[in-house]
Amino acid sequence: MSRSPCNRMTRIARVVAPLAAVLVAAFGCAGPAHEHAAASAPPAPFTIAMIPDTQNYVDFTHQKDHGFAIDAADLMRQHLGWVAAHGIRNGGDVAFVASVGDVWQHQSLPIDPEHAAKGIDWVVNPFFRGHFDPTPKVREFEIPQAIAAYQQIADAGIPFGVPPGNHDHDAMYTVSTHPPNLTKPPRELTMTKEDLGLLHIGGLTNFLSAFGEDTPFFKDKPWYVAAYAGGTSSAQTFTAGGYTFLHIALEMQAGDAVLDWARGVIAAHPGLPTIVSTHDYMTPNAERVSGGFLDLTVVDPERHNTPQQTFEKFLSQQDQIFLVLCGHYHGQAYRVDTNAAGHDLYQVLADYQDRGQVGIDAGQPNGGGLGGGPTGLGDGWLRLLHFDLAADPPTISMRTYSTHYGVLSSELPEYAAWYRPHEQPKMSDAEFLAAEEYEIVMRDFRARFGPPGAARD
């Protein structure tokens, strides 16, 4: 690529590392052996590629054979192909790929057999008609396209984790006990279950066919270290920047049994800095949602926790967890909370699925998106988390990059004009741009996890 943020950051690291070695040799730093080794050969920076919701790329209705202006699936292959090309084995610095779910768009069943057997029924919901209608196309087209895109990551030898989103379930439906309000004027509708109806999900057979623990992606991979229920949640490890990390791909609104499994995974990997990726967790207002029209606890309170409950029961209680990544809600957000041990927990939302400028560029008429706007695709945008763990304190530089336009958000003059009005209408352009590029200073990382290269169990 002509302009790559990974290459720009890596070039800086290649200049700084030799200079640090010369200074150490000249002035002879004293101290413990591991400190001297770290000073003489600082660990190289690395990048985690965070993949926001990709569902609109592989949506079968967003392809030329269904009258769309482009084959949007090509954008997903380009998306993950760019990441693969910048993997460490290919000379880049991408050490891990973290999806946040909603890999594809449609479902294959009107309701899953397990919930149907419990007597739960569904009703037609005109607000979501067409978006959630079950179709064989999800198995015939959407899932194969997603697998082909992720195969590029696998071929590049980059470890990765994928949690299921609501669209990745076999069925998504409106529960008959909470139907939509069809008497309210459209302009007065709110994003609540009282107005839109209550959505529920079930079945992960489709998801496991693509990302289960026994699929070629993960079977016999030493870095794929644990799975729950065949891979509906999973765990991976990777080594970069002088540390070995643990990553947990956690199913959305995970229940107590899943959280118990995740605690066990962390306990089996003591001392490892841990990242959790999940789907539905935080809104663009940086709030952890405890309700809404996709509150799974209403139907299955014994099998699900709200995002706030997940924070209270699990994320805030496990001191190894320092970073949470999520999607689902269109836009971006960042917040820091103090966990039970008094340490920082960084939480990051990125979801660009509603961005449709690529379609506009290709002549696709408006009307397919929310409020009659552009048809959402994603426009190739993803998040790049650039870790510098040799710094003291260590940092994460957050960048937003489009694999289609080949630029960072700060390099595109039209960026705020294209996206801010429907994602963050209350922000100024400057605030919107700042929400896409910022630095996380991990002030307590060393105290929690030790220096780079220190021995860990």
Residue 234 has pLDDT above 60, yes or no: yes
pLDDT, tens digit, 9 for 90 and up, residues 431-455: 999 999 999 999 999 999 999 986 4
| Residue 59, domain extent | 45-449
- The per-residue pLDDT for 370 is 56
Segment 83-107 shows an average pLDDT of 97
Residue 235 pairs in a beta bridge with 226, 248
Tell me what percent of the residues of the chain surpass a pLDDT of 90.
Answer: 84
pLDDT, tens digit, 9 for 90 and up, residues 405-439: 999 999 999 999 999 999 999 999 999 999 999 99
Whether 103 is covered by a domain: the verdict is yes
Residue 320 has pLDDT above 70, yes or no: yes
Residue 439 pairs in a beta bridge with 397
pLDDT, tens digit, 9 for 90 and up, residues 100-148: 999 999 999 999 999 999 999 999 999 888 778 999 999 999 999 999 9
Whether 217 is covered by a domain: the verdict is yes
Whether 21 is covered by a domain: the verdict is no
pLDDT, tens digit, 9 for 90 and up, residues 264-319: 999 999 999 999 999 999 999 999 987 789 999 999 999 999 999 999 999 999 99
Whether 456 is covered by a domain: the verdict is no
The answer to which of 75-84, 123-132, 205-214, 348-357 has the lowest mean pLDDT is 123-132
Q: How confident is the model at residue 27 (pLDDT cuts 50, 70, 90)?
A: very low
The CATH number covering residue 281 comes to 3.60.21.10
Whether 231 is covered by a domain: the verdict is yes
Whether 27 is covered by a domain: the verdict is no
**Can you give the pTM of this predicted structure?**
0.90
Residue 236 has pLDDT above 50, yes or no: yes
Residue 28 has pLDDT above 60, yes or no: no
- The per-residue pLDDT for 36 is 36
| Overall number of domains in the chain | 1
Residue 384 has pLDDT above 80, yes or no: yes
- The per-residue pLDDT for 129 is 81
Whether 211 is covered by a domain: the verdict is yes
Tell me what percent of the residues of the chain surpass a pLDDT of 70.
Answer: 89
The answer to which of 39-43, 167-171, 212-216, 379-383 has the lowest mean pLDDT is 39-43
The answer to which of 5-19, 227-241, 329-343, 382-396 has the lowest mean pLDDT is 5-19
Two tokens, residue 178: 């909470």
Whether 76 is covered by a domain: the verdict is yes
Segment 227-244 shows an average pLDDT of 98
Segment 332-341 shows an average pLDDT of 98
